[in-house]
Structure 1
Amino acid sequence: MDTKKTNLSSDNRLSAKERLLRAANELFYDEGVHIVGIDRVIERAGVAKATLYSAFGSKDELIRAYLTRRHMVSLEYLNGQLAAYETPRERLLGVFDVLGKLFAMPGFRGCAFMNASAEGLPNSSIEEPAHAYRASIRLLFVELAKSAGAIEPENLAQQLILLYDGAMVAARMDRNPVVAVTARSVANTLIALAIDS
């Protein structure tokens, strides 16, 4: 989940396709998928325009690849962080601890999928990877709620997803990483009601 700028054009160890994906990740996340022109991505990656089109075919496909990669990296990071927690109940709360770490990172700009979706039109290249990301977050919360012994795991998962989304937006809009602590406290109450009652 590193958000620092890199000098990609001088890194010959990376393939041109990888340099393009990394440049897209930096620029699209920092500024927006539609605001950033393809020439800026090409310049940051240090490749020719023909390379972009041979690797991805179009800017839309580069956007799709950027979001798909972001999905994979985000879930790997989240699952890696949650592995440190011993019980499903602790992992449910741990999601909000992980959010707190993300919110405090330099360069945090909110959820890449929310940001891209806000820019996208219906049926754009953004929709499919954004839906896939949302489905995986829903599944994670449902599975953790079931494992924790929630009476109605889907209901608890939906409540926690709303809390997750709200914390993400508040952290971005208010530039306040501490909202994760508040979200965790509310999550603890919801989890107790769903499991202990």
Structure 2
Amino acid sequence: MIPAAVAPRPPAPAKLKILEVADRLFYTEGIHTVGVDRIINEAHVTKATFYKHYRSKDLLIVAYVEGRHYRAKNLVDEARANLTDPASVLRALAALIGQIAVRTGFHGCPFINAAAQFSDVDHPVRQAVARHRAWERSVVAELVTELGHPAPEDAIDDLILFRDGALSGSNVGDPERAYRALARAVERIIAERSAGSGTHLRTA
């Protein structure tokens, strides 16, 4: 007789609270400026509870990055569920970036910010960021393939670069101008589909 599948236990409330506090502080103030003691105090847990759920600050940072990844994935999945045309999905994702960039408390891309604070590419945090970036590229690659772009690898590189630039530019400059630049870049990539000339943003 095959035993019934056992549903995974939900995370302990204390574990979720620690991550919630860390997510807020890491993003708004910077990972290296926020210490474990402050997270423990603001989460209202004991030090023993913290180390029971997260054996080190690095593991908590990885959990933070992974949590941000799943949030991004949910947003992309929602866009793809509601739209079928790849051009419409690309426009929707660009618009979403524009909406995020004008929100109060926006401090740039959490993945770029996290990677910038760890110089060792083999560090677990950088590896977590790399996994997110690989997923992000796979999403863009899928959309560009569906779009039928004549130079897909170049289009993927251009879209990733413009996405990064829009988020970074929004953080240090005018979010509206950064979004408009991203939107123009997306429209140029889409237009190249029908042109079929092989001309892309790098040679524009």
TM-score normalised according to structure 2 size: 0.85
Unaligned runs of 5+ in 1: 1-13
TM-score normalised according to structure 1 size: 0.87
**Amino acid aligned to 2:91:** L
Match of 1:44 among 36, 42, 45: 42
Deviations 1:74-103 (A, max 9, x none): 111233134333411111222211101111
**Amino acid aligned to 1:22:** E
Native 8 Å contact 2:166 2:182 kept in 1: yes
Measure how far apart 1:156 and its partner are.
1.0
Deviations 1:4-49 (A, max 9, x none): xxxxxxxxxx710000110110000001111101111111211111
- 1:196 to 2:195 alignment: yes
Bigger Rg over Cα: 2
Give runs of aligned pairs for residues 79-94 of structure 1, distance below 5 A: 79-94=77-92
* Structure 2 CA distance for aligned equivalents of residues 134 and 66 of structure 1: 15
* Structure 2 CA distance for aligned equivalents of residues 151 and 108 of structure 1: 35
Match of 1:164 in 2: 163
Distance 1:19 1:155, change over 3 A: same
Match of 1:108 among 106, 109, 115: 106
**Amino acid aligned to 1:94:** A
Match of 1:152 in 2: 151
- 1:33 to 2:19 alignment: no
Match of 1:74 in 2: 72
Measure how far apart 1:179 and its partner are.
1.4
Aligned residue pairs, count: 185
**Amino acid aligned to 2:38:** R
Native 8 Å contact 1:108 1:172 kept in 2: yes
**Amino acid aligned to 1:81:** A
Deviations 1:107-166 (A, max 9, x none): 111111111111113032311110011111101100000111112322211111111111
**Amino acid aligned to 2:35:** G
* Structure 1 CA distance for aligned equivalents of residues 180 and 174 of structure 2: 14
Native 8 Å contact 1:96 1:181 kept in 2: no
- 1:125 to 2:127 alignment: no
* Structure 2 CA distance for aligned equivalents of residues 178 and 82 of structure 1: 26
* Structure 1 CA distance for aligned equivalents of residues 123 and 194 of structure 2: 40
**Amino acid aligned to 2:74:** E
Match of 1:16 in 2: 14
**Helix, strand or coil for the counterpart of 1:18?**
helix
Distance 1:17 1:111, change over 3 A: same
* Structure 1 CA distance for aligned equivalents of residues 46 and 149 of structure 2: 54
Native 8 Å contact 1:93 1:187 kept in 2: yes
Give runs of aligned pairs for residues 48-67 of structure 1, distance below 5 A: 48-67=46-65
Deviates more, 1:118-127 or 1:49-58: 118-127
**Helix, strand or coil for the counterpart of 1:126?**
helix
Identity of aligned residues (%): 32
Native 8 Å contact 2:17 2:43 kept in 1: yes
